[in-house]
Structure 1
């Protein structure tokens, strides 16, 4: 039977995985955006593509480098949920 403690534990695991995946994908773009903003402030260049395109490329590169790890992490979580399902139902 699903108890409140078990439900909270499952939600905690799911949120932890989501937080890791989002951090790996967003953090590189955030850092590049910060560096480009500093460069734009120093040179007073206000070109929108200068800030957008490098962040897009870095985010795509982060997805390219981390997709295997992210897919493996999601599959491991899914398998663990299915393994626990027999204990949770009854």
Structure 2
């Protein structure tokens, strides 16, 4: 196993993690920003007001993007397992 091979696997892993995390984090960030602006405009400082919409949007995104995320993770895992003989030899 060469250092280049390990770096390639690490790079691919970071790409997959970014692809899987972005659909969840970006909508949560946008909803948090909108709720924060609403709280600043109305001077309502309630912690659950920002938490509940974020959880709801993450749940909706998981329902919509979940199958794609699972397929991406399975294909990456399958690629790693298929290359195990290359790790050993």
CA RMSD of aligned residues (A): 1.0
1:56-86 superposed Cα distances (whole Å, 9 cap, x missing partner): 1001111111110111001101111122222
**Secondary structure at the residue paired with 1:46?**
coil
* Equivalent residue pairs, number: 89
**Secondary structure at the residue paired with 1:45?**
coil
Matched residue, 2:38:
39
Matched residue, 1:73:
72
CA distance in 1, matches of 2:28, 2:11: 26
Instruction: Give the superposition deviation at 1:40.
Output: 0.7
Please, which runs of 5 or more residues in structure 1 have no aligned partner? Answer: none
1:14-73 superposed Cα distances (whole Å, 9 cap, x missing partner): 111011111111111110000010011111111222111111100111111111011100
**TM-score (normalizing by structure 1):** 0.92
Matched residue, 2:10:
11
Please, which runs of 5 or more residues in structure 2 have no aligned partner? Answer: none
**Secondary structure at the residue paired with 2:35?**
helix
Runs of at least 4 residues off by over 4 Å = none
**TM-score (normalizing by structure 2):** 0.93
